[in-house]
Amino acid sequence: MMDGQWIDERIEANRERLKAWMAEKRAEVPIPIYGSVDVRDAGWKVAAVDANHFPAGFNNVPDEDRPRLAELLREHVERTASSVTWVHLYPESHTRNPGYVENLRTLVDLLVRAGYLTTVGSPELNDISQVRGLSGHLDLVNVQATNDGGLVVNGRKPDLVLLNNDLTTGLPNELQTGEIMPPTQMGWHRRRKSEHQRALDPYVQEAAALLDLDPWYLQTEWFVSEDKCLEKETCRTILAAEVDAFLDGLRERYAALGIDQEPVAFVKNDRGTYGLGIMTVRSGSELLELSNRKMKRLMYAKGGADVENFLVQEGVPTSMTTGSGVAEPVVYLVDGEAASWFYRANEKKGAMDNLNSPSSSFLSAADVGPEAVHLARGRHALVAELSMLAMGAERLANARRT
């Protein structure tokens, strides 16, 4: 079985060509103001396995990365919006979660560093004036919806609304108009994970051609199983057969490449986040034998939305291990650039498991070891930045459908 050093060597040998190619591609699509990407690195394959348009873990980025993150925020706003001095941060409603509040506190710090007056709040939170994070409190302001579908803060309209709410439950009245980043059409009320995979494919193929390697080494295999109602045995039977065929194909590919790995499929709710609606399976029979509890969890979407389509994705084991268990990189990007990263570790999970669970912890590159920084700036940054290009392409595709 090969390791990933040869991928890094090709990236380094072609770094200037990659840089020019990336600049050309970024000019063709609206690059997101920010995003985060979960990366899996098996050594023999590295891939972006989940991409979030509304990242909620800025509190986990290292302090030394904050100046660059703030600089990139300002560059993006100045390039894409006009005359912005005041940014209003529109949050999720789960303000009882001190970790999420700390994420908001960090975003406020980044925006203030970038030179913007910053406020935080939403109409849903008007009864709360202050919330507590892990290291201090956060003041909230009164927000009202306007008749034209916008919002005002204490009677005044902010120059820009920075959305940190994934809109799973739908688009509220106050976010119908105005300068909003990221655009509301990228919320989970409309977006699908499979759309991102579809948009990502051509970018991976182009980058792989530039590096003279098979794109298979830079992305997961995947397919979408549509219109499935798992309460019905017929639906479960069809999905199980599809998963078995998918696993058989992976098994053949691994054998041809000399990869000593039993394939695994991640069955994911095609919309939603927070690691909900995800199941790891090694055989389609596991879907036929689901308990009611596991079936309800698989069908669970954040906000309680119904699940009809499933993204079935090749499971990539992580080769990263730490004193806190197996780990995976989480890359934070602003204006398309991989500008910060940390590592999600989980001592209760294995190398092939979904690590995004309550038992996870977060580590810096220094905690993981010197090789982490090298990988972060190499193949981990590459697949994450390709994911941001795909988000831009998703946005264009969504806009054409409206």
Q: Using the CB atoms, write b or e for 287-301: b if 16+ within 10 Å.
A: beebeeeeeeebbbb
Q: What CATH number does the domain located at 58-186 have?
A: 3.40.50.11280
8 A C-beta contact, residue 199 and residue 181: no
Cβ-contact 279, 58 below 8 angstroms: no
Q: Dihedral, CA atoms, 309, 313, 317, 322, nearest 10 degrees?
A: -40
Confidence of residue 292 (pLDDT cuts 50, 70, 90): confident
Q: Where are the domains of the chain?
A: 5-53+192-401, 58-186
Classify residue 70 as left (phi > 0), alpha (psi -120 to 50) or beta. alpha
Q: pLDDT tens digits for 241-263?
A: 999 999 999 999 999 999 999 99
Backbone φ and ψ of 48, nearest 5°:
-80, 120
Rounded-to-integer distance, Cα 65 and Cα 208, Å: 29
Of the candidates 134, 70, 141, 159, the one whose C-alpha atom is nearest the C-alpha of residue 107 is: 70
- What's the pLDDT tens digit per position in 352-393? 998 988 899 999 988 888 888 788 889 999 999 999 999 999
This prediction has a pTM of 0.94
Question: How many whole angstroms separate alpha carbon 318 and alpha carbon 344?
Answer: 11
Contacts of 122 (CB under 8 A, 6+ apart): 90, 91, 93, 143, 165, 172, 174
Confidence of residue 27 (pLDDT cuts 50, 70, 90): very high
Helix (H) or strand (E) holding 342: strand 337-346
Q: Is the pLDDT of residue 58 over 80?
A: yes
